[in-house]
Structure 1
């Protein structure tokens, strides 16, 4: 496990790693697997042509995405294609406005994969879950997987104050605990400049690794370690080795 984080910490390796998680979910009984899941795959730094995983903040918001969501989608699509390799997957296109970067794949007949759902595009997700883009996500045992979503906790910033129905739907669909993070690989850095990695492979614990790949924090359950917990673990380890 640690060897992957230390010596093979590449974006495409992360997508292959996530593929194994998707396979395990697919092999679970439909009644036992989570029906709404999220994955966070590491994006490249804009304008840099390499496969390294670099610190870009949560959801890659520190990258210089001058091309907006369209550029972000171009960087994400190869990762999703790798994630779905070997499955019966079909790219259905971008929902509504290409500038939103919300791509959709149909996979194995009962899995729908989306990219980049945000507060501003959450309405597209809600439509999909209601079956307005096709019945697959509404069927019994169906699973919806959102890759690199970055909506606010509980959808608190979805819609305008006067969009009561949309905001009510956001509170229901995006409420805490309603989406299981089944895969996450994210480079992090504390305020003191100590680098590390957050890693989770469902149903295993959340792990925080230092720059050598050593586990400095393990947290059971669905809840991601807080920023304070990550910082404390990494800073403590860095101070101990000085």
Structure 2
């Protein structure tokens, strides 16, 4: 599996998705941990996450700004200080980082207004489409429709599934992929990976779980004591790398 930097650069260098007509894009970046503790990856909350994501966003915008029609200085704006929602904006290009369900109306205004940029990116949205973040009834439908305007062109997210590290990845125009890290022997992230599945749509948690159950060495097939032992080794290795 490619590194976060190389794969995201490959997608946005030359403005590939934009040149193909994708003017409303969603990006999901996996953030490097900063100031993590043994009990909390982000003791500073979303503001600390903003410090981690800012250089990644700026790197992407530097690549995108090289595309004809997207040049120009970007002006930063704070939309919500408490939730660290920010926007970089020029006449031709805009990127909203950490948008929330509460700021979706403003995202829609930016996307459809008379001064709408040629390319609008939303990066690491904070909402959960499956929960109640979007509310209910017509309010929910309106927010769902706004979120659906944005097509995912890059996605890298990782999660622990019964003790094993799973990364879900997509780089436009490729398929969605799910990889499992070799935490089978107690190893931490960054080790060898194995492709679990490849689909045209984002894999569900249940699909990932079903694939892991078919792997005898996966933690999901181990006893509770074995999983606890592997988790202890994983945490120990993670702390030793800091």
TM-score over 0.5 (shorter chain): yes
Out of 25, 36, 40, the residue aligned to residue 24 of structure 2 is 36
Out of 86, 99, 106, the residue aligned to residue 82 of structure 2 is 99
Number of the residue aligned with 2:147: 174
Partners of 2:28 and 2:123 within 8 A in 1: yes
> Where in structure 2 are the equivalents of 1:53-202 lying within 5 Å?
64-86=41-63, 87=65, 88=71, 90-106=73-89, 110-131=92-113, 135-137=115-117, 142-153=118-129, 157-158=133-134, 167=140, 169-175=142-148, 178-191=149-162, 193-202=163-172
Partners of 2:100 and 2:126 within 8 A in 1: yes
**Aligned counterparts of 1:195 and 1:235: Cα–Cα separation in 2:** 14
1:71-96 residue CA offsets vs partner (Å, 9 max, x unmatched): 22222101111222343464422333
Number of the residue aligned with 2:197: 217
Identify the structure with bigger relative contact order (alpha carbons < 8 Å, sequence gap 6+). Answer: 1
Residue 179 of structure 1: CA displacement?
2.3
Q: What TM-score results when the alignment is normalised by the length of structure 1?
A: 0.69
1:167-217 residue CA offsets vs partner (Å, 9 max, x unmatched): 553143124xx32111111222213x1222111111101111121222120
**Aligned counterparts of 1:127 and 1:120: Cα–Cα separation in 2:** 13
Q: Secondary structure at the match of 1:157?
A: coil
Partners of 1:94 and 1:101 within 8 A in 2: no
**Aligned counterparts of 2:89 and 2:7: Cα–Cα separation in 1:** 20
Where does the alignment leave 5 or more consecutive residues of structure 1 unmatched?
Answer: 50-61
Q: What TM-score results when the alignment is normalised by the length of structure 2?
A: 0.69
- Tell me how large the CA RMSD over aligned residues is: 3.3
Residue 224 of structure 1: CA displacement?
0.7
How many correspondences in the alignment? 203
